[in-house]
Chains A and B, each alone.
Chain A
Amino acid sequence: MNKIIRYVMADILRNRIVLVYTVFLFITSFSMFSLEDNTSKGLLSLLNIILIIVPLVSIIFSTIYVYNSAEFIELLVSQPLKRKTIWLSLFTGLAGSLSLAFFIGAGIPVLLYQANTTGFMMIAMGVLLSIIFAAIAMLAVVKTRDKARGIGVAILLWLYFSLLFDGLVLFLLFQFADYPLEKPMIAVAAFNPVDLGRIMILIQMDISSMMGYTGAIFKDFFGTYTGVTFSFSLMLLWIVVPVWLSAYKFNRKDL
């Protein structure tokens, strides 16, 4: 398994797009921190960019990469290797190099300007989101045979997690404005890893008091150890479930 991960990672890290992505994150992070005189404000601006860019790049790049590795996969499948090993190595290589790119591009500037819990939480969330969206991409690829359609599905999924989901939540909130929805909102957040990441970082930033009663409830829940463990395990679930489902599908796929 390690051997294949090595080949995949070497191939991805040589890829120009990952390099451009890293440099882009690096420049954005530095400029965000130097634009604001207060580094916390800088971190907040960076947060919004990261929550959009990281999932987008992770899911699109992973989708295209797996489609382009069709030959490589075909070659490996006829060799004495378990299919599961091939698939998991591909995922590990992708997730590993995307996380590495995020860590170098955004992690290092954050550590330089904000080496505190908020900064660490931001790096952890960025890495987790990179992995989660690579996992979702693997599932999208294994389900669709056609490359163009697969990339379309990936873009739609990103759109859903980044924009549509929040719209739906807002719609629900307005429809049921007469009911106490603060606690169900915690459960709803579990269905979107991007929102989970955002809440985790915002709670650390101590600006939740500006979000009204819901913010207080969130702080009460996500601010505690149980809350942090809860959201971390949920995010792990967001990795494990898509990867497991895709590996199961891949095991029975005709190549």
Chain B
Amino acid sequence: MIIASNVSKKFGKLKALDNVSVTCNKGECIALIGPNASGKTTLIKTILGIVVQDSGFITFNGNNILHHWQYREQIGYMPQTGRYPDNMTIGHVLDMMKDIRGDKAILDEDLINAFELKALMNKRMRTLSGGTRQKVSASLAFLFSPSVLILDEPTAGLDPVASEILKEKIITENKMGRLILITSHILSELDDLITQVIYMQEGQVCFHKSIEELRADTGEEKLNKAIAHFMVKRLK
């Protein structure tokens, strides 16, 4: 569904992405893991077209994303830190998004209801706490039932109840055949979600394996132990 070939991106002297090639298919739930500043968010942003790569290309369903901006209709994106216009209320932001993305999509308001955002509709975005902001971002990402969900640190800042709701939602969406890309540092909570792991370091993809393969290779059942096993091996 999404194929990135030899994508490179430099910010000044820093190589954020160095010849990255990944393939993501329908129905997969992929965890993007790596230390800080390993290029995870940059990769996500190039897929979304927020950052434009220096070389290489990305295709979405066979179309180069540089020329086919319409592909973003099929993506729901939850940013690491959602930034919204300060003087708009939650209701305004949701209405504006519905207005912009049109009537074609089937609206999925499960998360808005589950997070009880209806009661906060008149609150201005600048008055919201970090967690509530995350809830708005998550609701927006799922609102249009997109076929691809890209979640950048989805549970950071959410309370345990909310992050449990979000995880449930991710699992049900994945079962419906949607492609899901997650970055997270909390490996333990990815255990029951993901089917594939992409491990990045210093802008390069170190490996892209299914979870079964990874377990077989490392002999560890838990994801965090498997990754730790791998990291230690690399350090040696």
Contact of A79 with B101 in the complex, beta carbons under 8 Å: yes
Chain B nearest Cβ from A168, distance in angstroms: 36
Q: Is the CB of B86 within 8 A of A71?
A: yes
Q: Is the CB of B83 within 8 A of A80?
A: no
Q: Roughly how many angstroms separate A255 CA and B51 CA in the complex, as a whole number?
A: 6
* A78 vs B85: C-alpha distance when bound (angstroms): 15
Check B100–A4 contact: CB distance below 8 A.
yes
Q: Is A83 an interface residue (CB 8 A)?
A: yes
- Contact in complex: A78, B77 (CB < 8 Å): yes
Q: Are A74 and B69 touching (Cβ within 8 A)?
A: no
A79 touches B86 (CB 8 A): no
Q: Find out whether the CB atom of A80 lies under 8 angstroms from the CB atom of B70.
A: yes
CB-CB under 8 A for A83 and B69, given A74-B83, A77-B50 = yes
Closest partner residue, chain B, to A4 (CB atom):
B100
**Chain B hits for A82, CB < 8 A:** 69
Chain B: minimal CB distance from A249 (Å): 11
Minimal beta-carbon separation of A255 from chain B (angstroms): 5
Q: Is the beta-carbon distance between B97 and A254 smaller than 8 angstroms?
A: no
Closest partner residue, chain B, to A6 (CB atom): B99
Cβ of A69 within 8 Å of any chain B Cβ, yes or no, is: yes
Chain A's nearest CB lies how many Å from the CB of B33? 22
| Chain B residues whose C-beta falls within 8 Å of the C-beta of A4 in the assembled complex | 100
Q: Which of A7, A70, A78 contacts B72, CB < 8 Å?
A: A78
A211 at interface, CB cutoff 8 A: no
Q: B87 an interface residue at 8 Å Cβ cutoff?
A: yes
Instruction: A4 to B85: give the CA distance in the assembly, Å.
Output: 13
CA distance A205 to B72 in the complex (A): 55
**A74-B50, A254-B51 known; A80 vs B86 contact (CB < 8 Å):** no
* CB of A34, distance to nearest CB on chain B (Å): 38
Is A81 interfacial (CB 8 A cutoff)? Answer: yes
Report, as a range, how many residues of chain B touch the other chain: 20 to 34
Chain B residues lying within 8 Å of A69, measured Cβ to Cβ, are: 85
Any chain A CB within 8 A of the CB of B84?
Answer: yes
- Residues on A with C-beta less than 8 A from B52 are 252-254
Q: Nearest residue in A to B52 (C-beta to C-beta)?
A: A252
CB distance from A211 to the nearest CB of B (A): 49
Indicate if B48 sits at the interface (CB-CB under 8 A): yes
Residues of the A chain whose Cβ atoms lie less than 8 Å from the Cβ of B87: 11
Query: Across the two chains, which residue of chain B brings its CB closest to A84?
Result: B69
Smallest CB gap from B141: residue in A: A78
B49 within 8 A of A: yes
A72 to B92, CA, bound (A): 12
Residue contact B83 to A75, C-beta cutoff 8 Å: yes
CB interface residues, A 233-255, toward B, < 8 Å: 252-255
Report chain A residues within 8 Å CB of B101: 79-80
In the assembled complex, 20 residue pairs joining A and B whose CB atoms fall closer than 8 Å, in A order, are A4-B100, A7-B96, A11-B85, A71-B86, A72-B85, A74-B83, A75-B84, A77-B50, A78-B48, A78-B75, A80-B69, A80-B73, A80-B101, A81-B69, A252-B52, A253-B52, A254-B50, A254-B51, A254-B52, A255-B51
Identify the B interface with A (CB < 8 A): 11, 45, 48-52, 69-73, 75, 77, 79, 83-87, 93, 96-97, 99-101
Q: A11-B85, A254-B11 are in contact. List 5 more A-B contacts (CB 8 A).
A: A7-B96, A69-B85, A74-B50, A76-B100, A78-B49
Task: Report, nearest first, the 7 A-B pairs whose CB atoms are least far apart.
Answer: A71-B83, A80-B73, A80-B72, A254-B51, A72-B85, A78-B77, A82-B69
